[in-house]
Structure 1
Amino acid sequence: MTVDRTRTLPSGPRQSVELDRDEALRLLGSVSFGRIVFTRHALPTVRPVNHVLDDGDVVIRTHEGAALTSRAREADGSGVVVAYQADAIDPDTHLGWSVVVTGYAHLVTDQEKLARYRDLLVPWVQRTMNYAVRIHPDLVNGILLTADDRAPVADSPTGDA
Structure 2
Amino acid sequence: MDPDKRVETLSDAECRRLLGTVPVGRVVYTEHALPAVLPVSFRAVPDGRLVLALRPGSSTARALDGTVAALQADELDPAGRSGWSVLVHGRAELVRDPAEHAALLREGPRPWIGEDRPTFVVLTPELISGRRLRPARERAGADK
TM range, smaller chain: 0.7 to 0.9
* Structure 2 Cα separation of the partners of residues 133 and 106 of structure 1: 5
Counting helix residues as a fraction of each chain, which structure ranks higher? 2
From 80, 83, 100, the counterpart of 1:93: 80
Aligned-pair Cα RMSD in Å = 2.1
1:113 maps to amino acid: E
Q: What's 1:143 paired with? A: 131
Q: How far off is 1:130 after superposition?
A: 3.4
Q: What's 1:3 paired with? A: none
From 108, 111, 114, the counterpart of 1:126: 114
Q: How far off is 1:97 after superposition?
A: 0.5
From 10, 27, 35, the counterpart of 2:18: 27
Q: TM-score scaled by structure 1?
A: 0.76
> Does residue 69 in structure 1 map to residue 61 in structure 2?
yes
> Does residue 109 in structure 1 map to residue 96 in structure 2?
yes
* Structure 2 Cα separation of the partners of residues 56 and 70 of structure 1: 23
Deviation digits for residues 108-156 of structure 1 (CA, Å, limit 9, x no counterpart): 1111211221222132213454321000010001001113536977xxx
Unaligned ranges ≥5, structure 1: 1-11, 74-78, 154-161
| Count of residue pairs brought into register by the alignment | 137
Q: How far off is 1:21 after superposition?
A: 0.6
Q: What's 1:159 paired with? A: none
Name which one, 1 or 2, has greater alpha-carbon Rg: 1
From 22, 28, 31, the counterpart of 1:37: 28
Unaligned ranges ≥5, structure 2: none
DSSP 3-state at the match of 2:96: coil
Q: TM-score scaled by structure 2?
A: 0.84
